[in-house]
Amino acid sequence: MLKYNVRGENIEVTDALRSYVDKRLKKLEKYFELSQDVIAHVNLKVYRDHSAKVEVTIPLPYLVLRAEETTDDMYRSIDFVSEKLERQIRKYKTRVNRKSREKGIQDFFVETPAEEEKKPGEFDIVRNKRVSLKPMEPEEAILQMDMLGHDFFVFQDAETNGTSVVYRRNDGRYGLIETNE
C-alpha cells in the first residue's frame, strides 16, 4: 500500500490539498508490487513570490524515486510531479526488476500486460525531427527557444560556425553547450 507523509513549508496542508495529493499519487500504485508498505514523502512549499514547489521522494530498497516541480499553482505542481514520477517508473521498471531478480529479491514494479518486454538499454523513440541549423547568436537562439516553448534549442553559432545548444536550467537561467568541431 502506498502511504503518504505530506508536509508543508509556509503553507497549511488542508484536507483538500492532502486529498488531491492522495488522488494524484494513488495512480502510481498500479506500478508497485504492494506486498510491503511504500511511503511517499511529499513536501509542499510556497515562496514569497507565491510560486508553489512540490517535492516527492519515494525511497525503495536499492532505489529512490524523486521528482520536483515549481509552478505558480500548487495543484498544477502536484499534477506535474505525479506525471514525472509515472514517466520515471515506466522508463526504468524493466531494468529495476531485472536488478532486483539478480539480487534475489522480488520485483519492485508490476509489468502491465500491454507493455512489451524491451531489451536492456532499448529506448522508445516516439518522434523523429530533422532541423536546418541557422547561424545565429546564443541570445537569438534563447529567444527562439522561448517562443517555441521548448527547454532547449540547437543552432549554428554565427561566431564559431559550430553546432551549439542553449537550454533552460532548473533555476530558470540558461546554459550553452558548444561543440569542438
Could you report the per-residue pLDDT of 105-117, keeping only the tens digit for each?
555 565 555 444 5
More confident residue, 105 or 73: 73
**pLDDT score recorded for residue 70:** 93
Rounded to whole angstroms, the Cα distance separating 26 from 132 reads: 43
**pLDDT score recorded for residue 167:** 96
What are the tens digits of pLDDT across the range 35-54?
A: 667 788 999 999 999 899 99
What are the tens digits of pLDDT across the range 129-148?
A: 888 888 999 999 998 888 77
**pLDDT score recorded for residue 41:** 92
**pLDDT score recorded for residue 100:** 63
Rounded to whole angstroms, the Cα distance separating 163 from 160 reads: 9
DSSP state of 109: B
**pLDDT score recorded for residue 181:** 65
Nearest residue to 2 via CA among 54, 41, 44: 41
All structural domains of the chain, each given as residue ranges with its CATH number in brackets, are 2-102 (3.30.160.100), 135-178 (3.30.505.50)
Nearest residue to 68 via CA among 91, 92, 93, 51: 51
Residue range 92-121: mean pLDDT, rounded: 60
